[in-house]
Structure formats: C-alpha cells, structure tokens
C-alpha cells in the first residue's frame, strides 16, 4: 500500500472508485449542511474526473443529493472563454451542472477573461462566505498530472510560492499554456476535506516518486502535490488499483 500524506483509499477499478467517492461526497455534503446549512464544493478539470461527474448525475443513490444547498466552485481554470473546449467550467457544466437542480447563483465559474480574475474570485468567496477570513471549503476535489502538478500549481511556477492570496494567476515558462487561474495552497489547505482522484497505470510511477519524496520532506516546487497538507482538515487519496502500480 502506498504511504502518502493523509489516508489512501483504493478500489479495484475506476468504476467502483467513483461509487465510493460519490458515497463519501454525499456523506460530507449532508454533514456540512447539518453543521453549517450549506455545502461548498470545489471541482477540478482534467480528463480523470469527467466520468465521475457524470456518475454524480446518474447514480440512483445520489437522487437526493442536496444540490439546492450546494455552492459549486472551480479549483483552477484556463484563461480561455467559456465556450472553448479547454475551459474546465464548460466540462463541469456539460457533465454535471446542467443536469442537477442547482441554482445559477450557486455556480461560481472563474471570471478568467476579466483583467483581475484572482481579485474578482476572492471577492466572490468573501461575499458568499460573508467574511474576510480565509474561507474553508467543505470538499475540494483535486487531480494530479504525471509531473505531480495539482490544480494549476505547476512545478517551479510562480503560484507555488503565493502565500498571501487565495487565488492567483499562473503563467510563464513553467505553466502549460494557456495561462491559468488557480486556487493557492492557503485556500486549498484550509479545506475541511480534500480528495485527490487518480486513476490508471500511467500515474503509478509519479505516485511512487511522491511516496519516496514524502519520506524525506514535502517538495512543492518539484512536486506541487506534496504541498497539499490540510491545516485542520483531512486528505484522502482516491486511487484505483492500476494507479497504485499493483495491478494493471
Ligand atoms: C486541469 C486540472 C489539473 C488536472 C491534472 C490532471 O484543469 O487540468 O485541474 O490539475 O487535475 O492536470 O489532469 P487529467 O485528469 O487530465 O490527467
């Protein structure tokens, strides 16, 4: 079993993993609403979570998911218009948001085409949370690239070093184009629950490298995902067996 920060949840295949992640998400949503009246969920883009978002729509066990009390935030976004294929919100809308009973005012796409999207998104967080304090999102779903990036925090990129903002624009040579807008470590690590969803054998080597690195110390600049360490929440790695490298 992989030894990673937080806990590791392994399912035999991606299908079962989606079911188990969906069940955890429902449990956390209900618990958040019972405790605070709302559920703040932040979702990532990429190809890995798309079938999971679709599952959230069709799973009969989730028929009563409390979407009416859910706010949907975006972890990171490419600075392209919403109708561009590379836009994360477009994928999240088409696979999930268009098919669930969630109010438009509870959907929070990043205003990536504006001049200062980071400040605008931070304002939205302040407004919805009704406070200037660092917001604690209830559940953040992250993915991971083969280079160990997460959100749009790429190895050696500027946003890795941002400690005084919740949201940052990330661009430059170290960023896979186009330029991005991303949640920063302070906001990500303030979450009550963080899940990292990784499927498939292609990322097994990366997970091994992360495990080895974590035995010494986190190295966010080289492997950004090692900077994910919730300050007062929990972190669960949701892996299918191929991602662990144990089976193929
Ligand atoms: C994005 C992401 C990013 C993603 C990883 C993994 O917008 O691309 O938020 O961090 O999770 O790049 O992407 P895949 O799931 O496509 O491998």
The mean pLDDT of 94-116, rounded to a whole number, is: 97
pLDDT higher than 80, residue 124: yes
Alpha-carbon distance 197 to 36, whole Å? 26
Query: What pLDDT, on the 0 to 100 scale, is given for residue 130?
Result: 98
pTM of the full structure: 0.97
For 127-173, the pLDDT digits (tens) are 999 999 999 999 999 999 999 999 999 999 999 999 999 999 999 99
The mean pLDDT of 172-191, rounded to a whole number, is: 98
Check pocket membership of 45 for ligand 1, CB cut-off 6 A.
yes
Q: State the chain's mean pLDDT as an integer.
A: 97
The conformational region for residue 99 under phi > 0 = left, psi -120 to 50 = alpha, else beta, is alpha
Check pocket membership of 77 for ligand 1, CB cut-off 6 A.
no
H-type helices in the chain, by residue range? 14-36, 50-58, 88-95, 117-129, 185-189, 204-216, 241-244
User: What is the 50 CA–ligand 1 centroid distance (Å)?
Assistant: 10
Strands 139-142 vs 193-198: parallel, antiparallel or unpaired? parallel
> Which pair of tokens denotes residue 194?
């963080």
Check pocket membership of 47 for ligand 1, CB cut-off 6 A.
yes
Alpha-carbon distance 117 to 77, whole Å? 10
User: What is the 225 CA–ligand 1 centroid distance (Å)?
Assistant: 12
Query: What pLDDT, on the 0 to 100 scale, is given for residue 246?
Result: 77
Structure confidence at residue 247 as a pLDDT band (50, 70, 90): low
From 84, 143, 149, 238, give the residue whose CB has the most ligand 1 atoms within 8 Å, as the site to mutate.
143
User: What is the 197 CA–ligand 1 centroid distance (Å)?
Assistant: 10
Residue 77 CA: nearest ligand 1 atom is 7
User: What is the 37 CA–ligand 1 centroid distance (Å)?
Assistant: 30
For 60-74, the pLDDT digits (tens) are 999 999 999 999 999
């Amino acid at each position: 079993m992989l030894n990673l920060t937080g806990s590791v949840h392994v399912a035999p295949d991606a299908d079962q993993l989606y079911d188990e992640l969906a069940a955890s998400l429902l449990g956390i949503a209900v618990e958040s609403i019972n405790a605070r009246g709302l559920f703040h969920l932040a979702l990532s883009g990429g190809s890995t979570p798309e079938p999971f978002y679709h599952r959230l729509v069709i799973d009969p066990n989730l028929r009563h998911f409390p979407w009416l009390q859910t706010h949907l935030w975006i972890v990171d976004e490419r600075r392209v218009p919403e109708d561009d294929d590379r836009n994360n919100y477009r994928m999240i809308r088409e696979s999930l948001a268009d098919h669930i009973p969630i109010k438009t005012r509870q959907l929070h796409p990043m205003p990536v085409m504006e001049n200062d999207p980071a400040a605008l998104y931070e304002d939205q967080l302040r407004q919805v949370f009704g406070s200037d304090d660092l917001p604690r999102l209830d559940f953040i779903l992250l993915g991971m690239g083969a280079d160990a990036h997460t959100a749009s925090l790429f190895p050696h990129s500027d946003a890795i070093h941002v400690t005084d903002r919740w949201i940052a624009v990330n661009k430059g040579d170290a960023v896979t184009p186009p330029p991005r807008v991303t949640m920063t470590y302070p906001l990500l690590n303030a979450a009550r629950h963080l899940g990292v969803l990784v499927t498939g054998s292609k990322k097994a080597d990366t997970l091994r490298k992360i495990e080895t690195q974590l035995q010494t110390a986190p190295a966010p600049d080289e492997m950004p995902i090692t900077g994910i360490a919730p300050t007062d929440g929990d972190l669960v790695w949701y892996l299918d067996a191929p991602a662990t490298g144990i089976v193929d």
